[in-house]
Structures are given as C-alpha cells and as structure tokens.
Amino acid sequence: MGSSVVLENIYKSFSSQGVVTAELTEEAEVDSTTRSPGSPVLRRINVTVQDGEFMVLVGPSGCGKSTLLRVIAGLEELTAGNIWVGDRLVNDLPPKARDIAMVFQSYALYPHLTVYDNIAFGLRRAPEPRSPEATPALKSGIQERAADLLAALTRKLPKRWRYSSARETAVDERVRTVAQLLQIETLLHRLPKQLSGGQKQRVALGRAMARNPQVFLMDEPLSNLDAKLRAETRSQIVKLQRQLGITTIYVTHDQVEAMTMGDRIAVMNGGRIQQVAPPLELYNRPANRFVAEFIGSPPMNFLTVEFKAPLLVTHPQFRLTLPESWAKALQSYDGRSLLLGIRPEHLSIGAPAPKNLRVQVERVEALGNETDLTVSLEGESSALQVRVAPDLPVKLGEELWLSIAPDKVHCFDLETGIALFVD
Ligand SMILES: Nc1ncnc2c1ncn2[C@@H]1O[C@H](COP(=O)(O)OP(=O)(O)O)[C@@H](O)[C@H]1O
Ligand SMILES: [Mg+2]
C-alpha cells in the first residue's frame, strides 16, 4: 500500500545563487551559528525510509526538519539530490502528483463543513480513489459523475431519499473506518468550532489519512495539544499508522515522542543527519556526542579524562578501571585524552573511594517516581546530573560520593565527538 522513500544526497539552500560549488564538493564545515545566508540548510541528507515504516525525524529547533519535509512534499525545491517514492523519481513532480499527504502543527479545517465532510472532502475530490474499497465500476467516467451529482444533491435529504453512488459508499466506508480508529465517530456531525483542539487535530489527521496516500508526512502535529491529549493522540497515530501501513515521516523536537513512536529515529542537527537507528539503539549506542546528549533526559554527563592502556581512566578527582571489553577499542588512545560519557541513571550514591566522585549537591528535584540531582565536581565548570531513588534522603549543599557503573560508560573521541564502541 505504501512506498519506500529514498533521500539521496539532498541539499537545500535558500540563497538565490544556489549552493556554492565548493560547499558541495569539499563539504566545508561551517558551524550553524556562523552560517552565511547562502549556505545550505540541508547538507547531504541520505536516508531510506522503508515501505510501511514509521520514521521519526528529531532535532533541535532550526536544524532543518520542516525544510526537509517540505522538500519531500514538493513545497520547496531541492538544490541538489534525488527523492524517490517507491520507484518514482519525484524531484520534478508538483506536490499533487507525489501522492504524499502532509499534516502541520496548525490544523486547517473547513469551518463550514462538518467533521464528516471535512474527512470526506479529499476523497470526493480525488479523481480516482486509491482506496482498496474502490470498485472497478468507479472508473466509468460520465456515469460516475452523474452519480456523484445525484449524491451531492440528495446528501441533505433524509437517509432513505439519499442517492448513494458506489463512490459515495466507498467514501462513507473510508470516513467511518478512519473516524473509528481516531475515536471521533460521535463527532462526525459537528462543525470544527464545536470541537476542542485535540479533536480538531484528530480530524485533520483523519482527513489526511483517509486519502490513503503512499506517504504521510507530519510536522509536529501534536505540539499544540496539552500533555494528556498529546499522549493519547500519540498512541492513536501509531495505531492508525500500523493498521494502514502508510510509510510515515514524523517530525518532532520532543524526544519522548521520538522514542515512543518511531520504528526508527533519524537525529538531525545543523542540516545533517547524525544517526538513524531504532530508539533503544540510539540510547544505548549513540554514534556521537550530539546524539548522546540529545537523546535521554536529563542529558548525559561528559568528563574529559586521561587514558592509560590497557584500561585506566584518570581524572583529577577519580581513577577508574574500565571493563576488559574496552581494551581493543581504546588501544590507540594510550596516553591521550578521552571524553567519558555517563548517563544520570548510571551514577549512584557510593562510599568514599579513589574510583568515586566527591560532589556537592546544588539542586534537588524530587519528581515522586525519581529524584534528579544537580551536583558539582571540583575542577569541573559544568554541573553533573544524577538520577537517584525517590526515597533517598538528600539535602541541598550536602557532600556525596558518587559511583560510576563501569559497564555503562560511553567513550568519545575528544576532538571529533565520535563514539568509540566496544565491539
Ligand atoms: N523560506 C526560507 N528562507 C530562508 N531561510 C529559511 C526558510 N525557511 C527556513 N529557513 C531556515 O532554515 C533553517 C531550518 O529551518 P526549519 O526547517 O524550519 O527548522 P526546524 O523545522 O528544524 O525548526 C533555519 O535556519 C531557518 O531560518
Ligand atoms: Mg519546524
């Protein structure tokens, strides 16, 4: 039903001159903060979204997520690269011809149409519905249009007077299926002004999905909803996507959404894809410092340490021996600096010892199910984040000894930020 989406060396620049050639060939590194107006907003994007896959695109504000979706939808022109939907190269196709539906953060419903008619709108206008319910009879032109006209003319009449064309029956089935999936069946007769924000957004989703596009693009569709509705609608979208099997690219800056919705997540920063992987792989094996810091909350802690082969890590405040499995990966770092990454949940309160960190508690956030501490370590300019059990009595200003779970540490090259892996 769906199609794969292949993004091949995508570049997008908003300057009128297009991409500077040097930028394309040499891949000049330009920091996003010092970017000149003509430099690309998207840089060499290569991603394959499988047929029927739910891909989440996540990254900080301004990293190019919306631009990438708009390029895929055909609302923005590419500067370089190729976009394939299934086996069709769609680079030069207008948005309508791409068979892609898009839902935005702000939903646009027709205010004078009921929920039912809003969802049915795209279906009625479609020249030839691709929905599986469509029968071959629908294809006979004039007859079909006459039937549509009759149906439209009699739509407002009591049910038994209504004319129902084969197409209208198909539309009706489709609208009801989608409404049921999104739990808005009881709202079908209402006008948009009689709906809450969450209901409106679900209708907008329903309208886009009812069309049964090959690809579904969503740009932060839940960010206008309150937390409870967001969680509810989140699971409905996932369920709906599973049932319809439509290849989906879902943009968010919210990592909880990313972790819970996606088959895979593409992490983006500064116009580049940093890593594409299933949620837990991103958490367990982040490819670089950016991903390590972006995925996980509170974020991972980083400490610069000296490494001594085979396994000794030293910091002015502690000395730690890494598990045997690290020996090979760290061989070439003997006598050099390393960036050590430790997640807040992998620090725990321990006893005074050379391998432990003596810290001072700067902030205590008791969340009920857990307590997050902000602590300072002598000689380190940035504070560390620690997650501890909620029943642990910890006081502001208190001195603690923290122990690092040695089998949970991450190592990064200090200069490049690239992760080093055990295997
Ligand atoms: N039409 C445009 N003209 C010029 N720059 C744009 C345009 N649209 C977006 N940008 C720039 O492209 C970058 C990425 O924007 P966007 O794709 O909206 O990011 P995100 O959706 O990840 O927040 C930003 O620096 C933004 O200012
Ligand atoms: Mg955006």
115-125 vs 197-210: helix crossing angle, rounded to 10 = 20
Tell me, in angstroms, the distance from the centre of ligand 2 to residue 219's CA: 7
Closest ligand to C-alpha of residue 67 is 1
Q: Which atom of ligand 1 is nearest to the CA of 251?
A: 21
Q: Which atom of ligand 1 is nearest to the CA of 32?
A: 25
Residue 150 has pLDDT above 60, yes or no: yes
For residue 65, give Cα distances in angstroms to 41, 57, 61, 256, 264: 10, 7, 8, 17, 16
Ligand 1 atom 5, closest CA:
14
Q: What is the pTM of this model?
A: 0.85
Tell me, in angstroms, the distance from the centre of ligand 2 to residue 60's CA: 9
Residue 415 has pLDDT above 90, yes or no: yes
Measured torsion, CA atoms of residues 69, 56, 222, 199, in degrees rounded to the nearest 10: 90
When the pLDDT of each residue in the chain is averaged and rounded to a whole number, the result is 88
- CATH domain 298-420 topology: OB fold (Dihydrolipoamide Acetyltransferase, E2P) (2.40.50)
pLDDT exceeding 90 applies to what percent of the chain?
66
227-244 vs 197-210: helix crossing angle, rounded to 10 = 10
Tell me, in angstroms, the distance from the centre of ligand 2 to residue 297's CA: 21
Asked if residues 49 and 4 have their Cβ atoms less than 8 Å apart, the reply is yes
Higher per-residue pLDDT: 96 or 156: 96
Ligand 1 atom 1, closest CA:
14
CA–CA separation, 219 and 403 (whole Å): 41
Residue with tokens 């432990």: 356
Please tell me what DSSP assigns to residue 129: -
Higher per-residue pLDDT: 99 or 107: 99
Quote the tokens at residue 339: 């960036």
* Best of 43, 45, 67 for a ligand 1 pocket test (most atoms within 8 Å of beta carbon): 67
pLDDT exceeding 70 applies to what percent of the chain?
90
pLDDT at 262: 94
Quote the tokens at residue 150: 């009759």
Residue 170 has pLDDT above 90, yes or no: no
pLDDT tens profile 249-290 = 999 998 889 999 999 999 999 999 999 999 999 999 999 999
CA–CA separation, 129 and 138 (whole Å): 9
Tell me, in angstroms, the distance from the centre of ligand 2 to residue 267's CA: 14
Pocket of ligand 1 (CB under 6 A): 14, 41, 59, 61-67
Ligand 1 atom 20, closest CA:
62
Tell me, in angstroms, the distance from the centre of ligand 2 to residue 42's CA: 13
CA–CA separation, 77 and 80 (whole Å): 9
pLDDT at 20: 47
Closest ligand to C-alpha of residue 58 is 1
Measured torsion, CA atoms of residues 170, 140, 90, 236, in degrees rounded to the nearest 10: 0
Instruction: Tell me the average pLDDT across 286-313.
Output: 97
Tell me, in angstroms, the distance from the centre of ligand 2 to residue 210's CA: 24
Tell which phi-psi region holds residue 379, choosing left (phi > 0), alpha (psi between -120 and 50) or beta: left
For residue 233, give Cα distances in angstroms to 57, 198, 201, 228, 256: 18, 8, 9, 9, 13
Backbone angles phi, psi at 173, to 5 degrees: -60, -45
CA–CA separation, 357 and 379 (whole Å): 12
* Best of 11, 12, 14 for a ligand 1 pocket test (most atoms within 8 Å of beta carbon): 14
Chain CA centroid to CA 251, Å: 4
Provide the residue ranges of all domains of the chain, joining segments of one domain with +.
298-420
pLDDT tens profile 191-205 = 999 998 888 888 998
For residue 328, give Cα distances in angstroms to 48, 332, 419: 32, 8, 14
